């Protein structure tokens, strides 16, 4: 979840959100570039200030609900990685680059939590905590915290979902100054997903740094339980043009699929998020 997703969700309950923010585009530009200038710890105050200026001192209930849903997703992601680092006694993440990478991702999720809590202030929902057993998803991933490769595969599902979710917001921001920033964020998230995939490949998995597939299969992780993450990723038709064999070339279906990522709608992201936790639990 990120500022782009948040604005999209708020627009559904407040169609004037962009008009409210437009007079302050210079302030928003400052917010988006602040990571290059000041400590990330200051970001929650900046986000809170942005929404307070748009709406006054009190956020509308629908906006509070939207931001709290985003916060719920960030709690989910943070606890997934944090358990792996500090609480899983039988999971060994190799020292060096692998441990550093997972630690960095965990810290990013915590930063997102703090960002949203700062925006919501007293309206922020009570912290959602998860036991390690929650992430076995009722037995779907029984070894997620005992087998390093399984952990990486589940993490891959998380990250690939995030990349597709970012892409789903591009049309919403068309013509807005924030689109450039959204694309910058999207590219970083894609690199995270690619890095997890390369970590998998380094541990023997047959997987590429990008999503590949065939005419009938788009999930290349080898974990059938996350099929929904990759649904629709095996399309080889873009803008009405079939890429496979385009103009009589030898472009294969797999190559055509690899060339394009497909977006995910918000409702699909919600459904997918619930694949990673115990049955019956709702965000």
Whether 235 maps to a domain, the answer reads: no
Q: Which residues contact 280 (CB under 8 A, 6 or more apart)?
A: none
Closest CA to 256 of 240, 238, 239: 238
Within 13 Å of residue 115, how many CA atoms lie on the same side as its CB?
Answer: 24
Q: CA dist 42 to 28, 72, 111, 126, 244, Å? A: 15, 21, 10, 21, 48
Q: What is the pLDDT of residue 38?
A: 39
Residue with tokens 């998020």: 273
Query: 135 pLDDT exceeds 60?
Result: yes
Whether 86 maps to a domain, the answer reads: yes
pLDDT tens-place string over residues 194-252: 989 999 999 999 899 988 876 677 888 888 888 888 888 888 888 899 999 999 999 98
Whether 246 maps to a domain, the answer reads: no
Whether 254 maps to a domain, the answer reads: no
Q: Which residues contact 85 (CB under 8 A, 6 or more apart)?
A: 93, 99, 102, 103, 106
Query: 10 pLDDT exceeds 60?
Result: yes
- The confidence band for 71, taking pLDDT boundaries of 50, 70 and 90, is confident
Domain carrying residue 62? 3-211+261-276
Q: CA dist 259 to 17, 141, 234, 273, Å? A: 34, 30, 10, 25
Question: Global pTM?
Answer: 0.71
Residue with tokens 């931001």: 67
Closest CA to 84 of 97, 71, 99, 72: 99
What is the spatial distance between Cα 10 and Cα 155, in angstroms, rounded to a whole number? 28
Q: What is the pLDDT of residue 49?
A: 56
**41 vs 205, higher pLDDT:** 205
Two tokens at 270? 């919600």
**112 vs 174, higher pLDDT:** 112
Q: How many domains does the chain have?
A: 1
């Amino acid at each position: 979840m990120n500022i782009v997703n948040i604005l999209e969700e708020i627009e559904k309950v407040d169609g004037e959100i962009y008009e409210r923010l437009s007079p302050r585009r210079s302030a928003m530009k400052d917010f988006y570039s602040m990571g290059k200038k000041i400590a990330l710890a200051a970001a929650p105050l900046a986000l809170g200030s942005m929404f307070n200026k748009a709406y006054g001192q009190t956020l509308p209930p629908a906006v509070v609900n939207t931001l709290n849903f985003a916060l719920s997703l960030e709690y989910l992601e943070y606890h997934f990685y944090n358990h792996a680092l500090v609480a899983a006694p039988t999971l060994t993440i190799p020292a060096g680059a692998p441990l550093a990478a997972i630690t960095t991702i965990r810290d990013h999720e915590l930063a997102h939590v703090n960002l949203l809590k700062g925006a919501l202030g007293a309206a922020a929902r009570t912290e959602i905590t998860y036991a390690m057993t929650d992430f076995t998803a009722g037995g779907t991933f029984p070894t997620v915290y005992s087998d390093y490769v399984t952990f990486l595969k589940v993490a891959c599902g998380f990250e690939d979902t995030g990349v597709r979710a970012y892409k789903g917001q591009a049309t919403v921001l068309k013509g807005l100054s924030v689109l450039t920033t959204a694309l910058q964020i999207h590219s970083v998230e894609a690199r995270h997903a690619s890095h997890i995939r390369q970590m998998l490949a380094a541990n023997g998995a047959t997987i590429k740094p990008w999503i590949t597939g065939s005419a009938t299969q788009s999930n290349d992780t080898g974990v059938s339980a996350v099929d929904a993450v990759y649904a629709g990723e095996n399309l080889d038709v873009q803008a009405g043009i079939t890429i496979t064999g385009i103009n009589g070339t030898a472009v294969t279906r797999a190559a055509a699929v690899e060339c394009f990522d497909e977006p995910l709608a918000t409702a699909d992201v919600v459904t997918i998020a619930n694949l990673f936790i115990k049955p019956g639990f709702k965000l």
